Chain A
Amino acid sequence: MRLLIIGFGFIGKELIRALRNKIDLLRSINEDFKIIGAADSRGYIYDEGGLNIERLSNINRLLEYGDYRSGRLAAELINRELCDIIVEATPTNIKDGEPGLTHIRLALSRGIHVVTPNKGPLVLAFRELTSLAEKNDCDLLYEGTVAGAIPIFSLVRECLRGDRIIRLSGILNGTTNYILSRMHFEETSFELALKEAQEKGIAERDPSYDIDGIDAACKIVILANALMGRNIKFEGVERTGIRGITQEAVGLAKKSGYAIKLIGTIDRRIEVAPKLVPINHPLCVHGTLNAVHIETDLAREITLVGYGAGKETVSAILNDIITVLKRRSRRREDN
């Protein structure tokens, strides 16, 4: 199996490090597993015999590897079918999903498996992409798109097959959870908590994607479409962020035994909004943690808690890669 990694940012680099550390595990599942290429926004490196994974995991910029084909696009490598799987880890963009959407479309239409933590393409074109994958008999896996390291999709697909999901809800954004938790425990103002989050790199300089609930809404769209049979777009989510939540409101909630959390909910409604969560509720986790709460007809209530963003996402990406290797290696044996 030949892997192409598109995106050499934070996630791309962490993934390569993880692949290097777990290469024996991967080769035990698929003998010929190798990384044949890596691309960033300005070009790529490619070696049909497999890149030197040790060297790859020690560089900061792709062009340091040597033999960097500047000005060339990753799409070329996909078009020429020089890979069997791609990890699409370019920055998420929910305006037009690019460049991720093009990469994923191209790959799937050529029967190349796709593993991605990139939300944009899935928010904008979920049905189109899943149909494309099905039509071309290849895998489209996206565990890393929602609640990073929490294996929500895998759990529902493999372990709750007999259940009907009544409601899915959760804290899906670590940045806003951090801010609200600081306000709750340290009794600080919103502005101060935000500033702290920015200083720690937990919030961006322009934090609107997180604090206006856009990130959480994207994740709700993917969850609703993938796990609850809906067909909704981003605009279909009733969205309220945490801008305007006051220290006083947090204090009033705290006195009554609640914490204010930004919760995404899918039941008869599809919404992202600040909610009063009882402090003892399993969903009531703090700091940058994420939590997903599943209510079903049989299992009743399951809560998953874990880290949402950051390098923990690599766990999800790696598991998806292993899923592809196992499914497709097995199939080859059957032939």
Chain B
Amino acid sequence: MKFDMTLALADKPGQLLKALEPIAKNGGNIVSIIHERDKPVEGYVPVSLIVDFPSHENFRNAINDLRKIGIAIIKSEEVIKKVRLTFILIGSVDLRRVIESRIKNARIIGLEASTPRLNEVSVKLDIEAPAEMVNELIDELKKLSREQNAILISPIHF
């Protein structure tokens, strides 16, 4: 699993090496490092790393070990592969119900509706969701559209 970490390293020699040790010790495999030395902030240099850890536990242990040796962690989160999908709903859709229904880890990033007549809505939804949640997302949208007697048009091959 890939994790996106940003560390604040003191701007003096040997800091990066010091930071990489707990990462390696916990099974972390460096995917990329961006060492932004031209942007020091109060004597600290931000270093962005993408690290592949075998498990969440390894990741947490690495974070703890980094903190123990006094390295500040500005950001640390799992990199989740996301996809953006477009859907269209047709019918007497209750837009509020659609927006409020919490589809796990999915975000509506765009919405466009056309309502030529009352109760006749055609709405386009752009949804961003984790790649592995796509099937669940579609099942959830199907359920929603059935409840509202609406037609769901999904993107092909998803």
Contacts and interface: CB of A to CB of B under 8 A. Distances in A.
Nearest to B116: A248
Contacts of A283: 156
A116 interface: no
Contact of A258 (B86, B90, B91, B116): B86
B88 interface: yes
A246 B114 CA distance: 10
Nearest to B149: A244
Nearest to A295: B157
B120 interface: yes
B44 to A, nearest CB: 44
A25 interface: no
A260 to B, nearest CB: 6
A316 B125 CA distance: 42
B122 interface: yes
Contact of B156 (A248, A249, A251, A263): A263
A75 to B, nearest CB: 44
B156 A252 contact: no
Given A252-B88, A252-B114, A246 B122 contact: yes
Contacts of B112: 252, 255
A274 B156 contact: no
A265 B114 CA distance: 29
B151 A276 contact: no
Interface string B140-158: 0000000000010111110
B114 A248 contact: yes
Interface residues of B, number: 18
A277 B90 contact: no
Most interface-central of A246, A251, A275, A283 (chain B CB within 10 A): A246
A318 B123 CA distance: 47
Nearest to B110: A256
B114 A245 contact: no
Interface of B: 86-88, 90-91, 112, 114, 116, 120, 122-124, 151, 153-157
Interface of A: 167, 169, 240, 244-246, 248-249, 251-253, 255-256, 258, 260-261, 263, 265, 273-278, 281, 283
28 contacts: A169-B156, A245-B153, A246-B90, A246-B114, A248-B90, A248-B114, A249-B90, A249-B122, A252-B112, A252-B122, A252-B124, A253-B88, A253-B153, A256-B86, A258-B155, A260-B88, A260-B153, A263-B156, A265-B156, A265-B157, A273-B153, A273-B154, A274-B151, A275-B153, A275-B155, A276-B87, A276-B154, A283-B156
